[in-house]
Amino acid sequence: MILVTGATGTVGREVVAQLLTAGQRVRAMTRDPKKVDLNGGVEVVQGDFNAPDTLASAVKGVDRVFSLTFGPQTGIHEKNLARAAKASGVRHIVKLSALGGDDETRNNIRKWHDEGEQAIRDTGIAWTVLRPGAFMSNALHWRASIRAQGKVFSNYGDGKLPPVHPRDIAAVAVRALTADGHEGKVYPLTGPEALSMSEQVKILADAIGQPLEYVPISDEAARKGMEHAGMPSFLIDALVPFAAFIRSGKATHVFHTVKEVTGRPPLRFGDWAKENAAAFG
């Protein structure tokens, strides 16, 4: 049995789907099972990272865990889960983390994940860490401005980065969860090519069949836009400064981990854009 946390999110849903395709028994943890709409073959259980007592029942009878949580409490959340997993006899935890880690790229998001990674290691359970870069699906945040104005606004300037398809992140996770040899490994994950925002917008425009304009904006304008969209302040404070690193041109490195682990090349942004074109209509 494999427990998947964050099973209703962008990556979690892909992990669940691919595990089922692989013939695995899957249990999904959520705070409110009544609100979950997953494949009928999935066992859905109630569990809350902030309530350790609920985690004990969630991991009961589980061999492996996919751990996905986010925010300033990541370290506490994964300590609670890992301790419950250790007590229940879980053999392997695969954690979704974030790319980066040196002095220049270690923003708040990575600091939260560092705490979570260490909490898992401290239990002595076998672990695998996945560190993806920007998700291709982040482009879904452009929907409102595209529908209203046919424009995409960003403070990334002309900087490039290699976004990764959530399906590829999930594919690596599933390999780590279902095959030996991934224990103690850290997998940096990116897509196959570094793209600027203007290049991504052009690819998306071709996919949806309408002209789009990319509009570079300042960090201050980006912050105001995030605030207007209702994004939590802790996330805004982490994201806005990171744009300077993107603009510096130092975020272009492409990792080949997806192909090395799965045996197939990673999907391109154009693939994601075609799959999700209807979402921008």
Asked, for residue 200, whether it belongs to a domain, the answer is: no
Does the residue 196 lie in any domain?
no
Examine residue 271 and state whether it is found in any structural domain, yes or no. Answer: no
273 in a structural domain: no
8 assigned to some structural domain: yes
| 104 has pLDDT over 60 | no
Distance of alpha carbon 82 from alpha carbon 39, whole angstroms: 26
Q: Are 8 and 14 in contact (CB under 8 A)?
A: no
State the DSSP string of 143-155.
Answer: HHHHHHHSEEEES
What is the span of the domain harbouring residue 53?
2-133+166-189+253-266
pLDDT band at 8 (very low <50, low <70, confident <90, very high): confident
Q: Which residues of 99-131 are buried (b: 16+ CB within 10 A; e: fewer)?
A: bbbeeeeebbbbbbbbbbbebbeebebbbbbbb
In sequence order, what E strands does 13-57 have?
26-30, 43-46
Using CB atoms within 10 Å of the CB of residue 200, give its burial: 0 to 12 exposed, 13 to 18 middle, 19+ buried. buried
DSSP 141: G
What is the total count of domains within the chain?
1
Average pLDDT over residues 254-263: 98
Q: What are the structure tokens assigned to 270, written together? A: 């154009």
DSSP letter assigned to residue 131: E
Q: What DSSP assignment string belongs to 201-215?
A: HHHHHHHHTS--EEE
**Residue appearing with tokens 């045996």:** 263
Average pLDDT, the chain: 93
pTM above 0.75, yes or no: yes
Where is pLDDT greater, at 270 or 107? 270
Distance between CA atoms of residues 169 and 261, nearest Å? 11
If pLDDT is split at 50, 70 and 90, which confidence band does 103 have? low
Q: What count of other Cβ atoms lies within 10 Å of the Cβ of residue 63?
A: 16
Give dist(CA 24, CA 118) in Å, integer. Answer: 28
Q: How far apart are CA 101 and CA 226, in angstroms?
A: 25
Per-residue model confidence as pLDDT tens digits over 142-190? 999 999 999 999 999 999 999 999 999 999 999 999 999 999 999 999 9
Measured between alpha carbons, how far is 275 from 204 in angstroms, rounded to an integer? 11
pLDDT for position 175: 98
Q: Is residue 235 part of a domain?
A: no
Q: Is residue 45 part of a domain?
A: yes
Q: Is residue 149 part of a domain?
A: no
Domain CATH for 94:
3.40.50.720
Q: Return the percentage of the chain with pLDDT > 70, whole number.
A: 98
- pLDDT for 110: 81
